[in-house]
Amino acid sequence: MTRKIGYAAGAFDLFHVGHLNILRHAKSQCDHLIAGVVSDEMLIRSKGSAPVVPLAERLEIVGHISYVDEAVAEVLPDKLDTWRSLHFDVFFKGDDWRGTDKGRRLEREFAAVGVEVVYFPYTVHTSSTKLRQALDLLSATGNSRVEA
């Protein structure tokens, strides 16, 4: 019997229930789940800002989630290069990528090497971006509490 290896990549900054949902759903569809935690440098390059929580701490948090069998730092900008290193069978992504140019490109590239792309529902009501905005607001106003 062949083990199905899954890979779920993310910043996992300001870890929240959306992250947990992706990892839970991913683990339910593979035998071995690798969580790729995007490096600080890659986040700065792709999003224009550094994460709130440094890579070493994000790796520690994600590595202790029961659904995750292995947590690795994602340091390569090309997902195919990551695949060449880890040899996963299925790539998990939030469905905010579905139907986008980068999502279609990812699907084509992975299909060429036999990797399935599986999308999971993006948790709209909670995101690291919203949490970061709340922190920025707190910092700017000097308040210890933000009203929703």
The pLDDT of residue 142 is 66
pLDDT at 46 over 70: yes
Query: Do the beta carbons of residue 125 and residue 99 sit within 8 Å?
Result: no
Segment 23-39, tens digit of pLDDT: 999 999 999 999 999 99
By residue count, the chain amounts to: 148
CA 128 to chain centre: 11
Residue 121's alpha-carbon distances to 7, 22, 59, 94, 97, in angstroms, are 16, 8, 23, 6, 10
Structural domains of the chain, ranges and CATH numbers in brackets: 5-121 (3.40.50.620)
pLDDT at 146 over 90: no
Residue 10, beta-bridge partner list: 37
